[in-house]
Amino acid sequence: MPLDTTSYAIPVARSVADLRAVVATWRKEGLSVALVPTMGALHAGHLSLVDLGLTRADRVIVSIFVNPSQFAPHEDLDAYPRTEQADAEKLTGKAHLIFAPNAAEMYPAGFSTTVSLTGVTEPLEGEFRPTHFAGVATVVTKLMLQAMPDIALFGEKDWQQLQVITRMTADLNIPVEIVGGPIMREDDGLAMSSRNVYLTSAERQVAGKLNIILRDAAARVSSGTPIEEAMSDARKRILSEGFSSIDYLEIRHAATLAPFEAGHPDGPARILVATKLGRTRLIDNMPLA
């Protein structure tokens, strides 16, 4: 399959062979390469990773692939927004190549390998989406081995995912530097997400309160309030604001996501939440001061 240079103003590789051919040409020119893996439906958060990549490498690849292996059967794979043309327009003049394979290219007939981790994958998201991180780890490993970039960039909004990928890359000695980009937020503080398009106008007004509750709870713990007392109060506040349910709201060790047994942080800490608002699942996090 030849490189697609006619559909959009930015070239698109749809096969691994074409992706590698482009990267090989860049390497012969002595250029460094950054990879920004995405599932498309790009927003300012994704574009901030592209901008960060441009400060760290000569060329930036953005992969667009809605990865079926990280969705459970009851999740929103079919409904997940697919906006390749709009994504390409946003990347024109910023990134240098889109890698947009189909499922058969990524998971050909007979594919039978899964990359799975213990430890950092087990709490929080791991409890509520037990197959999710195996799908993430597998597709990210494939993308890094397919593109062999110098760096790969991921947003801090998916904090646990970032820690999983960092751990996996170190454990497997994959020669790619993992770089986290800061959370991009809307004017009211809502963390940017492709799934925010699912929110109704009324739900959108409620959603903007989540980061405020997190910030207040984090400040209380930083000031000495026991973790469980602050989390209990914050859970009640989230539900009273109109959120449907809470999967988790926890303060954990920033790197390992282990709980703080003493009831107070004794190292770098992060507050993390996953909550439902209507049919939309929202996640957010932030560091403790």
Neighbours of 206 (CB within 10 A): 19
Q: For residue 2, what pLDDT is reported? A: 79
Q: Going from the N-terminus, what domains does the chain have, and what CATH number goes with each?
A: 12-181 (3.40.50.620), 194-287 (3.30.1300.10)
**Strands, E assignment, the chain:** 12-13, 33-38, 59-64, 97-99, 151-155, 177-181, 245-253, 269-277, 280-287
Q: Which residues are catalytic?
A: 46
* Residues contacting 26, CB < 8 A, separation 6+: 33, 58, 59
What pLDDT sits at residue 1? Answer: 59
Structure-token pair, residue 35: 């990879």
Give one DSSP letter per residue of 47-98, joined into a string.
HHHHHHHHHH-SEEEEEE---GGGS-TTSSTTTS---HHHHHHHHTTT-SEE
Q: What is the pLDDT of residue 167?
A: 98
Q: Has this prediction a pTM greater than 0.85?
A: yes
DSSP secondary structure letter of residue 245: E
* Alpha carbon 142 to chain centroid, angstroms: 16
Q: Can you list the residues of the chain whose pLDDT is less than 50?
A: none
